[in-house]
């Protein structure tokens, strides 16, 4: 039997955002509509500036599996405030936090859309309080 869901969400592993993640899914209609969830520290950083080839391929394979098995047409890339995967070497000045994430989110979105024609990427940034903004 075929299973289908709308989207895959790439999100950080950070436990502090469990409730916020599910509130986000609910808000986007993805609890009822369904979303595959991949949780990995740093989320889009693993596409834009991966620590290794292996982690990059792991994420791409998860998206490909979701596409093949569940026929997703959307990938949400969601980075968040105060992410432990981003150290001072990434964000030397906290005023640059959103800017650094924006760069990685947009780069990740481009990688996903080029690798998977027909899939739309939605890059988003989540604040610790759960507010989430689209990144453009």
Positions touching Zn ion (CB under 5 A) are 12, 14, 83
- Pick from 72, 68, 50: nearest CA to 59: 50
Q: How far is CA 54 from the centre of its chain?
A: 17
Closest CB to Zn ion among residues 29, 92: 92
Q: Of the two residues 15 and 53, which places its CB atom closer to Zn ion in the complex?
A: 15
Q: In whole angstroms, give the CA distance from residue 10 to residue 13.
A: 10
Q: Which is nearer to Zn ion, 8 or 119 (CB)?
A: 8
Burial of 53 (0-12, 13-18, 19+ CB in 10 A): exposed
Q: How many residues does the chain have?
A: 136
Q: How far is the CB of 79 from Zn ion (least distance, A)?
A: 7
User: Least separation, in Å, of the C-beta of 121 and Zn ion?
Assistant: 19
Supply the minimum distance, in Å, between the C-beta of residue 91 and Zn ion. 12
The helix (H) or strand (E) run that includes residue 31 is: helix 30-33
Residue 29: closest CA among 12, 11, 6, 10: 6
Measured from the CB atom, is 97 or 113 closer to Zn ion? 97
CB of 117 to Zn ion, least distance (A): 29
Rounded-to-integer distance, Cα 71 and Cα 107, Å: 23
Closer CB to Zn ion, residue 44 or residue 83?
83
Q: What is the closest distance, in whole angstroms, from the C-beta atom of residue 85 to Zn ion in the complex? A: 5
């Amino acid at each position: 039997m075929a299973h289908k869901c709308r989207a895959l969400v790439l999100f950080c592993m950070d436990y502090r955002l469990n409730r916020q993640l599910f509130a986000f899914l609910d808000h986007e209609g993805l609890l009822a509509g369904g979303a595959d969830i991949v949780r990995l520290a740093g989320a889009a950083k693993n596409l834009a500036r991966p620590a290794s080839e292996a982690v990059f391929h792991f994420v791409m394979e998860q998206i490909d599996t979701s596409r093949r098995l569940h026929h997703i047409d959307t990938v949400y890339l969601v980075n968040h405030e105060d992410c432990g995967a981003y150290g001072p070497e990434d964000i030397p000045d906290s005023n640059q936090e959103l800017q650094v994430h924006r760069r990685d989110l947009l780069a990740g979105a481009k990688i996903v859309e080029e690798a998977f024609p027909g899939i739309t990427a939605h890059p988003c940034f989540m604040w610790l309080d759960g507010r989430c903004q689209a990144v453009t």
